[in-house]
Structure formats: C-alpha cells, structure tokens
Structure 1
C-alpha cells in the first residue's frame, strides 16, 4: 500500500458511501484507477467489508506531533516538499528555537504513524525528530 491507498482508505473510513468520482478527485486519480485500488484492497483483505456505524461521528484518528530538526537549518525546500506529499500531515509549521519544523499527523492508527515517522526520519537533511502522540483533545478552536 502506498500513500494514495492510505488516503483512499481514510476517505472510505470517514464515509464509506463516498462516490468513486469524489474519491478520485480527492486523491487526484481517475475514477477507474480508484475503483481498481479499492478492489485490490478488498482482495488483499485490507478492506474487510462495509458496515453501518451508529452514533456520533467516525472512529477517532490518531494524532501525532512530529518535531523535525534539519541539518541545513531550513536552507532548502526538499524536506517541506516531501512532507507536503504525505496526506496524513494536516499541518506543518516552521519554528524558531531548537527544532525547525512541527508536523501534525492525523492517521488511522499507530502503524501508519510509525510508517510516516520512519519516512520523515529517513529524509536527507533530517538530523533528528521527536514524536508525541495525543492522548486526548481537550480544546479545539478553529
């Protein structure tokens, strides 16, 4: 599975009734390409079925905060460009102080958070990372 598969899975988890054409637009693929990916995930057991969930909202996503220290102290755009390609990174700020970047990750589980962390830590120019996982959201302002 690649990032696009994870994004499709995330969209379907939020709303399994999302039309293929809407999914295709969100992941920048054709309707048929999205359909083929969904069918492959069904065959491979990644998607085990579809169900109705009663109650308010979808299952809670895992939120992680990744602080990134760069070797070049922000003298190039390649790290930010790579982070922008990860759909689960919903926000990225340039920081003052010890760390250079703050990335907010919202993923479907800890396995995916781990994959994203491994990808970030392996990027050329990334010297160090510190990752924390949100245990509870107590204030949420727009």
Structure 2
C-alpha cells in the first residue's frame, strides 16, 4: 500500500493531533499557521486518505505522569511452570513481559501511577514462590520511543 502524500504542514497537524487528539481546531490552526478552514480541509483529506481514523490515539502519550519500571525476574524453576506469567497477566500495570535468554528469565515492564504502586507490584512479584531474584530499575527519562 502506498502511503498518501503529506507535506510538512500535514505532518505538523498529525503530530499535534497525536499529542492532543482533542485540540480545538482554532488552536491547531494557530499552531500550524493556517486558517481554521484550511486545517479542516487538510484533516478531511487525511481522513479520506486513511491517515486519520477517528480521534482516538493509537498509543498513550509517554509523558502522562506515570512511572515506568523494568523488573528483571530470575525464576527458580527456569520457566517450567506458568504460574509467574499467569500472575503477571492479572496485574494491569504490567504493560509488557518478555521471556529472555541469559541470566534472567523475564523482562517485565510496569507503568504505574506512583513509585508506591511500583513498590507494591514489585513485592507481589518477588513474593511468588517461583521467583528467586529480581533486579528493578526505574526509568528517569525516555529519550527514544519507536513504539
């Protein structure tokens, strides 16, 4: 499929909409230095071209105030049971879990509202009988996000 042609203004409109899908049209027009009608026409064209599908973000903003932590999990059973992964699926703040090769068995990404909640989740994971060790790091700043 060929991506529809966009120019720098279209790209700026898409960037602004991704940052705030509910931005007022007048504000968006001011930010891209066009009239309200010109922006509306461009958005309608991008809708027809499939570049804009509704006004819901496909992914949340990175700087939403939540805390991200990475927990490396070493399992005593070396992945022979499904108990740890089953328990992780029950924690809504666990946004990603990868099975690893090497020393640690799982890489768990947690996005929570506070450091206190990160601590509660860590305690829950560390208390699982199949978990023998963890290493936890908290993200200070995300500098690349290609999700």
Query: Structure 1 length normalisation: TM-score?
Result: 0.59
Match of 1:114 in 2: 119
The structure with the larger Rg is: 2
**In 2, distance between residues paired with 1:57 and 1:77?**
31
Deviation string 1:60-116 (CA, Å, 9 cap, x unpaired) is 110000000000000010100000100000000000000000000000000000000
**Matches for 1:1-142 after TM superposition, within 5 Å:** 59-142=64-147
Q: Could you say if the C-alpha distance between residues 140 and 98 of structure 1 is closer, same or farther in structure 2, counting changes exceeding 3 Å?
A: same
The alpha-carbon deviation at position 59 of structure 1 amounts to: 3.9
Give the paired residue count. Answer: 87
Deviation string 1:21-50 (CA, Å, 9 cap, x unpaired) is xxxxxxxxxxxxxxxxxxxxxxxxxxxxxx
Runs of 5+ in structure 1 lacking a partner?
Answer: 1-55
**3-state secondary structure, aligned to 2:117:** helix
The alpha-carbon deviation at position 130 of structure 1 amounts to: 0.3
Match of 1:6 in 2: none
**3-state secondary structure, aligned to 1:83:** helix
**In 2, distance between residues paired with 1:58 and 1:135?**
11
Runs of 5+ in structure 2 lacking a partner?
Answer: 1-60
